[in-house]
Structure 1
Amino acid sequence: MIVTQTHHGPPGRRTAAQRLTAMLGAAATVGVLALAPAPAVAAILTNDVTAPADAALGSRFTLAVLPDTQFYSRYSEDQFLPRYGSDPFATQTAWLVDHREELNIPFVAHLGDIVDQVGTEKEWRAADRAMATLDDAGMPYSILAGNHDVLNSSDDWFDTDYTLADEPFVQWFGTERAAKQSTYGGSDDTGFNQFHIFEAAGQEFLVLALSWRASDESLAWAQDVLAAHPTLPTILTTHSLLNIEPDGTSPKEDPNGLRLWEKLIRSNDQIFLTFNGHFHGATQLTKTNDFGNPVTEVLMDYQMAYEGGNGYLGLLEFDLGANTISLETGSPWVASKPRDMLTSYDQVLLEGEQQRFTMPIVFAERFRGFAPNFAAGPADQPSLTAKAREILLDGFEAPDSASLEFPGSSEDYVPVDGTLAHWRFGGAEGVVAEGQVFEDVAGGADLHRVGIAESGSATAQAADVTVSADTNPYSSDGGAVCFANSDKRTGRLSYLSTDADAAINDVNLDKGYTIETFLKVDPGWSADANGWMKAIVRSGNRSTMPGMPWMRWDYTASPAALGLSNLKELQWTEVPVDTTKGDRTSWSGEIMPDRWIHVALVNDPQTSRTTMYIDGAPVLRNATDTFGQSVNGAMPWIFGADWFDDRVGNGWAGCIGETRVIDHPTGPEQWLTARPSLTGFTALASETEVVAGQQAVLHGTGTPRAEVTLSGALAGQAQVSSDGRWSIELETSSAAARAVAILPGEHHYTATQSFGTRQSAPVAGVLRVAETSTPDPETPDPGTPGTQVPDAGTPAPGGSSSDPTQPGSGHPSDGGGQAGTVPGGDGSLAITGAGAVDLACLAAAVLALGIVLLVIKRRTARMEL
């Protein structure tokens, strides 16, 4: 059944009275993956649709998209309101109302996960306040339920399985409220699914808003809606459709998305664009439907970013004349923050390839099959993307932003003084044998696989633990240890452990700490089998610590542990040095299975706070009034399982990458996701001269552990030592027979330092090798006719007089001279400049003296005769 209501057009919109002085040029189309492309797709997507460079008016409107708002609702009352007086959700909707006319916004689409905890009323109140701003302004919107908005979000439960009277979504955002929207067209029987029709730029568009796990009955309802409006271009919104790869950029198909594609999208040419949230990140995928036309799926979800998403929303400019759809991702919330509260995560606009793009689409051609009369409306709007950027950036002074770079080699990480342990797993892949050791590259805290019998797991198998080359792309290690088949119901688990006498077991980290790791949750994770599993644990029993207060939860748990709750939230729990403070915890938001994340736990004694960072962004709920850790002496660190009630349990289902422990708090510039700087690289002076037969040493400064490579006329390699110096020895010769040596002449070279594929800018130089004047064994006798004897006063090679007292000779008595030798990086001498001149002068003087002595000897011999 379709619940219908008379359709009304949107309120009047302002006609632009002012032309912008510049227009934002169309960005390159990015992230598009075509599946089985057809000629029609090519025709639609490859036409020259570049927007004009001037500020001409066009047939334009802006569609606003609100991705997952769950953490804004959850932390509105206890985090955002006390600190800022508002929350990101309320700021978003107020900003849209305030700039509705300037940006010509006819409609707003919410992508679900309105709240985080479905049974918590204060979260629904916060969401209600934010959306009421749109209601009060008469600004139409669609809204749908995400997995956090329903009482049972299991994949095998659909909207027709719910007890509707109990569902908070239906109570807060059901049919009655939806019907007040001027664009509302109807809802299905459950009230979870709705459709709207909005008018913009002289045309009508249909929006299908489908709930989390829309049932077959709901999809049949959606099909009826499309059949009832066969000429309307349709935008489908839902919570879960397109996923994202671990690289954070590439699209990944999702089973529910494929179900929607097969049962609804591909066979309805009207559906040309989809939006969804749920999966953390942003990407897009273009597929070909049964009519040979493109359908672009767009993922948009920032809930794991700073402050639960930092208020980012999507602004899509439809330019019906220029045949483009342009996305800008901006945050009115960031723009509203006081300057003194901004951090490097506070960028008002996101400029990544998936956050800002222009998608070409020839609308009339794309819609010809079902709407042959589709045409652009009045050209009465300036560039709306440019206007949106202008509004958001007005008066905003951005802090320096943080950026990441992929490693170029296994050594491409920043070493940190005070590192207590650094466990790496890169190397041979395959099954981890019982007792197999993983080295602590920083010291003596090696990990080993605990034997199956010793682990207490009767059902564990050797193949349950493997080393994989699949790891976080920002880890330079290239390996991870993975735990399979863990199941707390059967007690099956495997784990790694430090030795009982490892020094790191006893450190209490009373100067603060940084603990980093890379984690991935197994795609088969379930709350029943894996809820409250642990990745890294400092084993022991906190109840035995003097001063530890009784607590309802975790009283007999280990002193410190990092694990995943039954709601897929990371929990870091610790007992600080002062045990009387009891358990202190930090919590993340929901972690997506089968996706690598970087976790940093930073304890700062100055603030008495432990902050959890997920992929560089601090979570909202962090431990306070804490520093250091209390420990049970001689109890090991455990990877892959929990330790509670003096026994092992709750095995980790997933992978653990390289992990490091540092004895003080650090920042992102020193984390394992950071790269050593390759700036400041130097090589020997640009012009260097040596005499053939002598050893040349090229040397300079660089980044410790980087590889230095010579190319061009010279070849050689070296590694920069820990003191930041490097040197390469080169052999020279005047004999042509020595083919491996460097012969006299000018030799142009370049030097670079690198960590594998990541290289510095090259430094160019010239090595000049001069002929030696020392006679070779085959040199003719100087008295032989034809042999010229140099005059002792003739300038030697290099232009200097052989008289060491002459200016410019380089003699120490010459105040303006230069040293004749330069120490190499390994203590050897590199002969340069004036030093080469002195050597040549000395050789000439010795040769002249030899000739004089020979002449005297011959004359003496004649006199004796």
Structure 2
Amino acid sequence: MPGVLSTGEAAATGIGATKGTTKSSTESARSTRIDTEHPRFTLAVVPDTQYQFDQDRGDAAPLTATFKYLIDQRGEENIVFIAHLGDVVENALASEFALADPVFRILDRARFPYSVLAGNHDIDGSKDDTRGPSPYLDTFGPRRFRWMPTYGGSTANGYNSYHVFRAAGRQWLLLAMDWRPSDASFAWARAVIKAHPKLPVILTIHELVNADHGNPVAYFSDHGNRVWDQLVDDSDQIFLTLNGHYWPPGRVTRKNAAGHDVHLHITNYQDRYYGGSGMVRLYHFDLARNTIDVETVAPWIMQQDPARRNELAAAEIELSDDTNRFSVPIDFAERFAGFAPEPVRPARPAKQLVIPGTAAYWRFDGPVGDKVVDQSGQGNDLTRVQLSSDLPTASAEYHPDQPGHASWLFPGGKNPARGGYLKTADGAPLNAMTFASGYTIEAFVKLADDGQDHSWEGLLTRLGTGRDAGKTGSDPDEPAAKLGFSGGLQVQWAVYPADKNDTFTNWGHEQRAGEWFHLAIVNDGRHSVVYVDSSELLRNPATASNGLATAGKPWLVAAGHYANNVDQGFAGHIGELRIVTRALKPSQFLNA
């Protein structure tokens, strides 16, 4: 399956299964799948575990439970990588690393990629990473990571490494830097970033920012300033840093040399009950929502029998204060635009979009004039009608999936009627069409965000009332057909079907002014369905309706009417409009 990695080895070991339950190998393999293309993924962050490996005073159970939990939740939460922030052990002793080693081998057996870096308790903290051999390096040196497809390499001294993992349809680079990188190691890190010029970078390091009790706003340590000056400030690709060492947790945002935000987080729980109880910080990246949702949980405590859980443990299951459970809004496309701009979809000529059944196709990608040509060749050209002296203007703005790379901005309004609109000629073929076999109406739209009242403005309307078309149900002074927006910016498609004497209305949800969207109305000859950005909406009538009633009068673009009186012009951008005489699938829409 493209974009999906399977960790079937985890299934074979039984890791992740809850005590007392049995999982088949198929079920276990399925539960540990990750989707590297899905816009939501999780980075698991494990801070200082030193008190769990402190000579004869520790307990490996909390970290063991955390790793098994992450393996078990790997598919459910789409956990793509685990990053340890250093201070694996307390006294840098070989005997302590001998206790930690089998716990991390749980991840090795599950083929779960992870990184580890040296904290000051893992090595001789008085020296930088040129310190030479150590029990830490014997346990977590480069050879430990060579099996991982994410592993990219290490410094010659072995104390700094980098990984590249795929998530949300792109690659991400994670640096795991030593407690005290040497100047040469900072140069190495800069070279790694330079060698991956389009990858967003997450820096993990043991010390960078600190925070005080009662003030969760983090500040830089002296060494943190060195890290900023030598690596972060001029490396625009670094957008997130994660460190432990100090406590309590905190965070701060700082502008780099390029003027972009870098989010700097400290997370450490060794001061809490049971040495932090193996707490893990979960960074849930959601590129569809442009947000990172962060939560902090203690799997070891979560899995305990509630009836036997002690009072201190019960308070540590999950940390839900603002410092440990929060969201970070990031416009990923905008933040990464300086080094990895999203490719602009090329413009597509109109002739490519004139598909079989196209009745009319209007593009607003030229200078404002008195006429808009019907690109379908069916002769449904539009001419401009002014309600006031406020003229539409040509705009370089457009929906990113729009074939034509431009739009017109209509300055409409009411009380009094302002702006203008366009209309088909009196004898245009479109005027008489009833669409008995179905129809699809599409538009690229951005509603005005000008603070004015534009309630019930029309985008596309059939001139002529229900009464004019021989319909007497509902309010016969309403238009025979109107696509517009309520006072709450809800999409409304209100029509007199050809086969009914009453109006039928499809409603959408409230749209946001100032944001582009693609709108489609699809009728298959029986039912009409509204789509926004190719997503089917809720409030579509189940009652059958066929065709559109007509009085043979023109269609209006950028206006509506009541009793054939146009009382306001549309306010906002229109990119293009297409009408097809059959139901299209979303894969056939203009934004597909």
TM-score normalised to structure 2 length: 0.51
Which residue is 2:327 aligned to?
Answer: 358
**1:673-692 alignment to 2 at 5 Å?**
none
Q: Does 1:140 align with 2:113?
A: yes
Q: Does 1:125 align with 2:98?
A: yes
Which residue is 2:568 aligned to?
Answer: none
Q: In 2, Cα distance between the equivalents of 1:278 and 1:124? A: 18
- Equivalent residues of 2:240, 2:262 under 8 A apart: yes
| Among candidates 115, 118, 122, match of residue 89 of structure 2 | 115
Q: Report the 3-state secondary structure (helix = DSSP H, G, I; strand = E; otherwise coil) of the residue aligned with 2:87.
A: coil
Which residue is 2:61 aligned to?
Answer: 87
Choose 1 or 2 for highest CA Rg. 1
Q: Report the 3-state secondary structure (helix = DSSP H, G, I; strand = E; otherwise coil) of the residue aligned with 2:293.
A: strand
- Equivalent residues of 1:195, 1:206 under 8 A apart: yes
- Equivalent residues of 1:274, 1:297 under 8 A apart: yes
Superposed displacement of residue 323, structure 1: 0.2
Superposed displacement of residue 295, structure 1: 0.1
**1:296-445 alignment to 2 at 5 Å?**
296-339=263-306, 340-346=308-314, 347-373=316-342
Superposed displacement of residue 58, structure 1: 6.7
Which residue is 2:197 aligned to?
Answer: 230
Q: Does 1:153 align with 2:125?
A: yes
**Letter of the aligned partner of 2:293 in structure 1?**
S
Specify whether residues 139 and 374 from structure 1 end up closer, same or farther in structure 2 by C-alpha distance, changes over 3 A only.
Answer: farther
Which residue is 1:98 aligned to?
Answer: 72
CA offsets, 1:77-118, max 9 Å, x none?
6554xxxxx611111111111111111011100000010011
Q: In 2, Cα distance between the equivalents of 1:254 and 1:373? A: 36
Which residue is 1:417 aligned to?
Answer: none
Superposed displacement of residue 248, structure 1: 5.2
Superposed displacement of residue 250, structure 1: 2.8
Q: In 2, Cα distance between the equivalents of 1:129 and 1:90? A: 9
**Letter of the aligned partner of 2:218 in structure 1?**
P
Q: Report the 3-state secondary structure (helix = DSSP H, G, I; strand = E; otherwise coil) of the residue aligned with 1:250.
A: strand
**Letter of the aligned partner of 2:54 in structure 1?**
R
Unaligned runs of 5+ in 2: 9-36, 345-592
Specify whether residues 153 and 60 from structure 1 end up closer, same or farther in structure 2 by C-alpha distance, changes over 3 A only.
Answer: same
**1:712-731 alignment to 2 at 5 Å?**
none
**Letter of the aligned partner of 2:245 in structure 1?**
H
Specify whether residues 341 and 131 from structure 1 end up closer, same or farther in structure 2 by C-alpha distance, changes over 3 A only.
Answer: same
- Equivalent residues of 2:66, 2:300 under 8 A apart: yes
Question: How many aligned positions are there?
Answer: 313
Higher relative contact order (CA 8 A, sep 6+): 2
Which residue is 2:185 aligned to?
Answer: 218
Specify whether residues 13 and 94 from structure 1 end up closer, same or farther in structure 2 by C-alpha distance, changes over 3 A only.
Answer: closer
**Letter of the aligned partner of 2:71 in structure 1?**
V
CA offsets, 1:618-654, max 9 Å, x none?
xxxxxxxxxxxxxxxxxxxxxxxxxxxxxxxxxxxxx
Q: Report the 3-state secondary structure (helix = DSSP H, G, I; strand = E; otherwise coil) of the residue aligned with 2:267.
A: strand
Q: Does 1:252 align with 2:219?
A: yes
Superposed displacement of residue 374, structure 1: 7.4
Q: Does 1:184 align with 2:144?
A: no
Q: Report the 3-state secondary structure (helix = DSSP H, G, I; strand = E; otherwise coil) of the residue aligned with 1:118.
A: coil
Q: In 2, Cα distance between the equivalents of 1:252 and 1:245? A: 9
Identity level (%): 42
Superposed displacement of residue 192, structure 1: 0.3
Which residue is 1:11 aligned to?
Answer: 5
Specify whether residues 204 and 74 from structure 1 end up closer, same or farther in structure 2 by C-alpha distance, changes over 3 A only.
Answer: same
Q: In 1, Cα distance between the equivalents of 2:183 and 2:173? A: 21
Which residue is 2:45 aligned to?
Answer: 65
Q: In 1, Cα distance between the equivalents of 2:38 and 2:138? A: 42
Unaligned runs of 5+ in 1: 1-8, 15-56, 81-85, 376-865
Specify whether residues 365 and 225 from structure 1 end up closer, same or farther in structure 2 by C-alpha distance, changes over 3 A only.
Answer: same
**Letter of the aligned partner of 2:5 in structure 1?**
P
Q: Report the 3-state secondary structure (helix = DSSP H, G, I; strand = E; otherwise coil) of the residue aligned with 2:74.
A: coil
Query: Root-mean-square deviation (CA), in Å?
Result: 2.2
- Equivalent residues of 2:7, 2:110 under 8 A apart: no
Specify whether residues 203 and 228 from structure 1 end up closer, same or farther in structure 2 by C-alpha distance, changes over 3 A only.
Answer: same
CA offsets, 1:437-461, max 9 Å, x none?
xxxxxxxxxxxxxxxxxxxxxxxxx
Q: In 2, Cα distance between the equivalents of 1:312 and 1:197? A: 25
**1:463-862 alignment to 2 at 5 Å?**
none
Superposed displacement of residue 373, structure 1: 2.4
**Letter of the aligned partner of 1:153 in structure 2?**
G
Q: Report the 3-state secondary structure (helix = DSSP H, G, I; strand = E; otherwise coil) of the residue aligned with 2:121.
A: helix
- Equivalent residues of 1:240, 1:278 under 8 A apart: yes
**Letter of the aligned partner of 2:82 in structure 1?**
V
Q: Report the 3-state secondary structure (helix = DSSP H, G, I; strand = E; otherwise coil) of the residue aligned with 2:95.
A: helix
**1:163-178 alignment to 2 at 5 Å?**
163-164=132-133, 167-178=134-145
Q: In 2, Cα distance between the equivalents of 1:110 and 1:10? A: 24
Q: Report the 3-state secondary structure (helix = DSSP H, G, I; strand = E; otherwise coil) of the residue aligned with 1:243.
A: strand
Q: In 1, Cα distance between the equivalents of 2:215 and 2:135? A: 33
Greater strand proportion: 2
**1:261-272 alignment to 2 at 5 Å?**
261-272=228-239
Q: Report the 3-state secondary structure (helix = DSSP H, G, I; strand = E; otherwise coil) of the residue aligned with 1:249.
A: strand
Q: In 1, Cα distance between the equivalents of 2:4 and 2:104? A: 18
Q: In 2, Cα distance between the equivalents of 1:136 and 1:294? A: 38
Q: In 1, Cα distance between the equivalents of 2:230 and 2:252? A: 18
**Letter of the aligned partner of 1:134 in structure 2?**
L
Q: In 1, Cα distance between the equivalents of 2:7 and 2:325? A: 26
Q: In 2, Cα distance between the equivalents of 1:58 and 1:180? A: 25
Specify whether residues 67 and 79 from structure 1 end up closer, same or farther in structure 2 by C-alpha distance, changes over 3 A only.
Answer: closer
Q: Report the 3-state secondary structure (helix = DSSP H, G, I; strand = E; otherwise coil) of the residue aligned with 2:282.
A: strand
- Equivalent residues of 1:111, 1:237 under 8 A apart: yes
- Equivalent residues of 1:13, 1:101 under 8 A apart: no
Specify whether residues 248 and 304 from structure 1 end up closer, same or farther in structure 2 by C-alpha distance, changes over 3 A only.
Answer: farther
Superposed displacement of residue 349, structure 1: 1.1
Q: Report the 3-state secondary structure (helix = DSSP H, G, I; strand = E; otherwise coil) of the residue aligned with 2:76.
A: coil
Q: Report the 3-state secondary structure (helix = DSSP H, G, I; strand = E; otherwise coil) of the residue aligned with 2:249.
A: strand
TM-score normalised to structure 1 length: 0.35
Q: In 1, Cα distance between the equivalents of 2:252 and 2:309? A: 37
**Letter of the aligned partner of 1:159 in structure 2?**
D
Which residue is 1:198 aligned to?
Answer: 165
Which residue is 2:14 aligned to?
Answer: none
Superposed displacement of residue 292, structure 1: 0.8
